[in-house]
Amino acid sequence: MPGPHKWRHRFQAHVTRWTVPREAILNLLMSRPSKHMSAKEIYASLYRMYPGIGLTTIYRTLDLLVRAGLINRFTSGDGQNMYEFKSEEKKEHHHHLTCIQCGKIIDYSDFVEEELEFIKKIEESLARKHNFKVLGHNIEFYGLCDKCK
């Protein structure tokens, strides 16, 4: 019997039932904004409090949350998917700086203003030129972090 929740209504636009695992997964991601986690890491975190939880449900719920627009999914260097809670604030839009050695992921939001403006310009051009409906973008820089270089 899950409880009330700030995001319950948004969730329910995509799915009918509000369940314990769904609440747990969303709460975990919300509790650590700007924390990047894999499905396995989420499973490990929740296993203590919910020993019965299944990895399958984690994957399904993450899909759901991505579709509902509450979290972001991106692919880390080693191929597995990572997830992070998506803040409501536009100003917190950010991109990633990834260390190819240790896998560390740094959020950065320098030049967001300029960047978003530039991105918008490119998107409009691409939409016109290729008759393409642009829905989003992935921008990532990679290299060696402080410790690894």
122 binds, among DNA, its own copies, Mn ion, none (CB under 5 to 8 A by kind): its own copies
121 binds, among its own copies, Zn ion, Mn ion, none (CB under 5 to 8 A by kind): its own copies
Among 41, 107, 115, 123, which residue interacts with Mn ion (rule: CB under 5 A)? 107
State the CB neighbour count (10 A cutoff) for residue 4: 7
Cα separation, 116 vs 129, in Å, equals 20
Could you tell me the smallest distance in angstroms from the CB atom of residue 121 to its own copies?
Answer: 7
Give, as ranges, the residues between 18 and 47 that touch DNA (CB under 7 A): 18-22, 38-40
When the beta carbons of 74 and 112 are compared against DNA, the nearer one is 74
Among 26, 53, 65, 70, which residue interacts with DNA (rule: CB under 7 A)? 53
Residues 40, 37, 68, 140, CA torsion sign: negative
> Pairing relation of β-strands 71-75 and 81-85?
antiparallel
| DSSP H or E stretch at residue 86 | none
